[in-house]
Amino acid sequence: MPRRRAGRERSSPPPASATRSTRTPRPTPTGARSCAGPSTRPCPRSPPSSPASRSTPTASAGAWSVAECVELFDRAQHAGHPVRVHADQFNPLGLVPEAVARGYRSVDHLEATTPDDLHALAASDTFGVVLPCAGFHTDGRYGDGRAFLDAGGRLAIATNTNPGSAPCQSMPMAIALAARHNGLTPAEAIACATATPAALLGLTDRGRIEPGCRADLVLLRHTDERALAFEFGGDPTDLVVCGGQMIKMLKTVKEVGTINQAD
C-alpha cells in the first residue's frame, strides 16, 4: 500500500463570502478597478503645523463620480485639509466647476478641460497644475498652459510621479515638456516649477531667491537658464542646497572648490 506522507492536512478553502469584497468594483480610465464610493470614516484633522504638502488629499474623478468626490472633499475641507483634485485627464467630468465653487487649492491635469472651464479656473483663486509627463507617457495630450496663463491663471508644473501614468521623477524633464507641449516659454516653465508651486503649497519662505527666504538652491551646469527647457533626459544639476545644507555635490564642483581653496 502506498504510504501517506507525514505532514499537516490541507484545510478546506474559506467560503467565497469570506474572501471577496461585497463592494462593487468600478473601472477606472486606465483599466484598473476601484471600489465604488468613498470611505464613510471621517477624515483626520489637519494639524496647524503641517504644511499643505502633507495634508492635502488628492483623487482622480475618473475612479468615482463627481458627487462622490465632492462628498469626500467636503469632509476633507471640514477637517481643515486644503483640497487638490486630479481632473479632466481623459474626459471633462465636471469637477473643475465644483473646484472653483468650493475654493479647492488646485486642479491637476487639465488635458481634457473645456475652454470655458479653463477660463473659469483661471479667473478663480484655484491654481491650475499641468502634468506633461503623464501626457508624454500615455496619450500625447497636454493641458493648455498657454491659454490658462493668458487668461490670468496661476499655473504650476509637476511630474505626477506614479507607476501607472507618469513613471518619471525628473522636474527638468517636466520643464522641458512644458516648454514644448504646454505652450510655455522657458522663463514661464521655470517659474511654474519653482515660485508658483511654493505659493500653491502655502510655503511662503521658498521658491524664490531673495533675502528672508529659505536657502533652497540648485546650481546648474548650464550658462543659460533656457537650456533647462531645451535639453531633456539628463541631470543638469551640479550642486543642491536644501535649507542651507549642501546635500548634493558633483565631482566638477568639488574640483572647482579645491582650486578656489588653493588660490
Q: Report the CATH number at residue 71.
A: 3.20.20.140
Q: What is the pLDDT of residue 216?
A: 93
Task: Look up the pTM and report it.
Answer: 0.75
Q: Are 232 and 173 in contact (CB under 8 A)?
A: yes
C-alpha cell at 187: 522663463
Q: What is the pLDDT of residue 249?
A: 76
Say if 184 falls within a structural domain: yes
Say if 151 falls within a structural domain: yes
Name the residue range of residue 103's domain: 47-205
Q: What is the pLDDT of residue 38?
A: 46
Domains: count for the chain: 1
Angle, helices 66-78/95-102, rounded to nearest 10 degrees: 20
Say if 127 falls within a structural domain: yes
Say if 250 falls within a structural domain: no
Q: What is the pLDDT of residue 45?
A: 64
C-alpha cell at 56: 492635502
Q: What is the pLDDT of residue 261?
A: 40
Say if 191 falls within a structural domain: yes
Q: What is the pLDDT of residue 47?
A: 57
Say if 145 falls within a structural domain: yes
Q: What amino acid occupies position 165?
A: S
Helices marked H in the chain:
16-19, 66-78, 95-102, 115-122, 132-137, 145-150, 171-181, 186-192, 195-200, 227-230, 251-262
Q: What is the pLDDT of residue 39?
A: 53
Q: What is the pLDDT of residue 145?
A: 98
Strand pairing class (217-220; 106-109): unpaired
Q: Are 156 and 143 in contact (CB under 8 A)?
A: no
Say if 186 falls within a structural domain: yes
Taking 70 as the pLDDT cut, the residues of the chain under it are 1-63, 250-263
Say if 173 falls within a structural domain: yes
